[in-house]
Structures are given as C-alpha cells and as structure tokens.
Structure 1
Amino acid sequence: MKKALFLDRDGIINVDFGYVHKISDFEFVEGIMDLCRYASDMGYEIYVITNQAGIARGYYSIDDFNVLTDWMIKVFKKEDIAIKGVYFCPHHPEKGTNDFVVSCKCRKPEPGMILQAVKEHELDVNKSVFIGDKLSDMHAAEAAGIHNRVLVASQYHDNSTAHVHRVNNIKEAIAFLS
C-alpha cells in the first residue's frame, strides 16, 4: 500500500480569499510547490481533499470548479508534481440555493472524501499525512485513521486540545514528512 499526502485546498494550496473559483483569483501559497516536490521525492502520492460549499450556495458551478482544478493540476505538472486525485464536497447541510443543500458523509469533518481516496488508490493511512488549516480538516483525517495531522496557522479557530502538529506556515510542514 502507498503513502499519501492529503492536502486541503483553500488556505493550503491557494490563499483563501473566500470561495475561490476563478483562475484570476487563485494565488498559490508560498512554499506549496517546495512542500509537494519534497513529498513526491519522499514517495508520497498527493491528493487534494476540499469542501466546496460555494457550489451549494450557488456562487459557482461544478463546471467552474473543474475548470479551475484542471488548471491547478497543470500548473503542478509544469513543476514536475503529480496530483493523483482531487476529491471535493459540493454540499452544505444548511446554506444554499440548490440540490446540494444536504447533510452528507463527504463534507469535512466527515472522512468520506479521504476514505474514498484510500479505497480507490489503495493508500495506507498509517503512513499518510494530512495538512490543513481548519479543525474540520484535522477531525476528518483523524476519523479516517490518519495519525500524522498538521494544522497550519490560519484565521480559523484552533482548539488547542486537538492532537495535531501545529506549524506557522506550509514550509514548516515539511518537517512532518518522512
């Protein structure tokens, strides 16, 4: 079984400006390419695990998300970094304007997206790492059995009792890849 680096998107791969869905608004977080290149060199397969409630809220469509995602993957590829899969949840349990306003098992803090990737790609959660900027990322990773969880400081609330590695920026997360 393979080890994986699971990454949240907004706040980890790109600067979180809120509901980023256009290429013109997408700004890569400083250090993300270095982190991913190092992870690849260490034998990790890279997967993106992202809530996209903007779809439920009607801010953008799945097609808009896919256009941005395809572009993002191509930028990584130009840097010789392979993104093996992108898993997204378009749902929100309460807020929205369409059929995606539902409770689900994929929206973080639920582990559904991670478990789907693990099953589809035969990944070993015991050797894997999850890097995110919200406690919901950490809870999803924990529920999926990932012990190596890295929380990057962000504007979101951090419950200091959560058992995670804390770093100030994405560059510091490299220390938790082995």
Structure 2
Amino acid sequence: MSERRPALFLDRDGVLNVDRGYVSRIEDFEWVDGARECVATFNRRGWYVFVVTNQSGIARGLYTEADMLALHAHMETELEAAGAKIDRFYHAPWHEEGEVARYRKASIDRKPGPGMLLQAMADFNVNREQSFLIGDKETDMDAARAAGVGAFLFRGGNIATFAEWALASFEDGVRG
C-alpha cells in the first residue's frame, strides 16, 4: 500500500464554485476565486484532494446524476488545464423528502453525516490526523468532526488564501 498522506476535503458549492443554489449546468458554474490554485497547491504538497458534496437537487428532481457527473467532468477538465486534479468526487444525492423515490432516504453519507469522508479514508491511504475539511456550512463542520478530521468554515473570498491560513492554523494545533 502507498504511503499514508494527508487529505484536503472540500465542499463543492460555496467553496469551489459560487453557490447559486443547485448548480447543475456548466453554464451556471463559476469558480470561487483561487479554487484551482488551491487544489493545485495541495496536489504539489502531495496531499489527496477530495470533493465531498451533498447533491439533494438530484433527490428533489431538479437535475439528474448524469447532469452532476457532466459538471464534475467539466471541473476536472478545467482543473487539469490549471495543473490540478481532484483525486475523487464523493456525492450524496439522498434526501428524506426527495421527489425521486430511489433517492428518498436518510443516509450517513449526507452531511452532517461523515459517510463521504469515511469512504474516502477507506478508499485511499489517508492520514486522518493530518487531514482537514473546508466547507461553508455548519453541516460540513459537523461531518468533519464526526469523521475525526479538522474543520474550517469558509465564508467567502479567495479559497487559496483561506486554505493556506487553515493549513497554518491546523499545523499550529487549531482543529477548526
């Protein structure tokens, strides 16, 4: 097995892209300032970079899983052009009140549950103690804490600058 490495877990809407509410179409997608640079910087450090995103719009019937996957492919293409990559996207399309029957359920994967983070740590050789999440909602913070990783609440601005501050804080013992 490969050497254990730290992981940066990133929420999607509001952290990597501007949150316009249920972003599912490429034409509605806009990067948050510094998003591609943030991913590239952590790639160069040898960290895993994962996206962990609730996508209840799928359960609500607002868009399909295929729409979301097409958007993620677009993101990967633009990241690659910037010398960056996401190691894996994890998504939770579930919602207890969903309109689409196959997605209408409670799930530990849906944040504030830690399922997506725990799955990433099972799929990859992640050093949990050196890993943290950046999200824009308290549910993100709850999921990170439940998974045993650090948590930092992003409230806007340049995500690359924020991630550097979060890393310095984390290395100083602040768990978020």
* TM over 0.5, shorter chain: yes
More helix by share: 2
Residue number in structure 2 paired with 1:20: 23
5+ residue gaps, structure 1, are 155-167
Residue number in structure 1 paired with 2:32: 29
Specify the code of the residue in structure 2 equivalent to 1:176: A
Contact 1:5-1:44 within 8 A present in 2 as well: yes
Contact 1:5-1:39 within 8 A present in 2 as well: yes
Contact 1:153-1:169 within 8 A present in 2 as well: no
CA offsets 1:48-74 (integer angstroms, 9 cap, x no match): 000000000000111111111111111
2:112 match: secondary structure: coil
- Runs of 4+ that moved beyond 6 A: none
Contact 1:39-1:177 within 8 A present in 2 as well: no
Residue number in structure 1 paired with 2:86: 83
Give % identity.
40
In the TM superposition, residue 177 of structure 1 has moved relative to its aligned partner by: 2.2
Residue number in structure 2 paired with 1:175: 165
In the TM superposition, residue 98 of structure 1 has moved relative to its aligned partner by: 2.7
Distance in 1 (CA, whole Å) between partners of 2:92 and 2:112 is: 11
1:104 match: secondary structure: coil
Specify the code of the residue in structure 2 equivalent to 1:151: L
Of 101, 126, 129, the residue aligned with 1:126 is 129
Q: Does 1:150 align with 2:155?
A: no
Specify the code of the residue in structure 2 equivalent to 1:112: G
Contact 1:108-1:140 within 8 A present in 2 as well: yes
Residue number in structure 1 paired with 2:47: 44
Specify the code of the residue in structure 2 equivalent to 1:152: F
Residue number in structure 2 paired with 1:56: 59
5+ residue gaps, structure 2, are 169-176
1:83 match: secondary structure: coil
Distance in 1 (CA, whole Å) between partners of 2:158 and 2:27 is: 23
Residue number in structure 1 paired with 2:171: none
TM, length-normalised to structure 1: 0.87
Q: Does 1:103 align with 2:106?
A: yes
Distance in 2 (CA, whole Å) between partners of 1:94 and 1:2 is: 37
Count of residue correspondences:
164
Distance in 2 (CA, whole Å) between partners of 1:124 and 1:10 is: 25
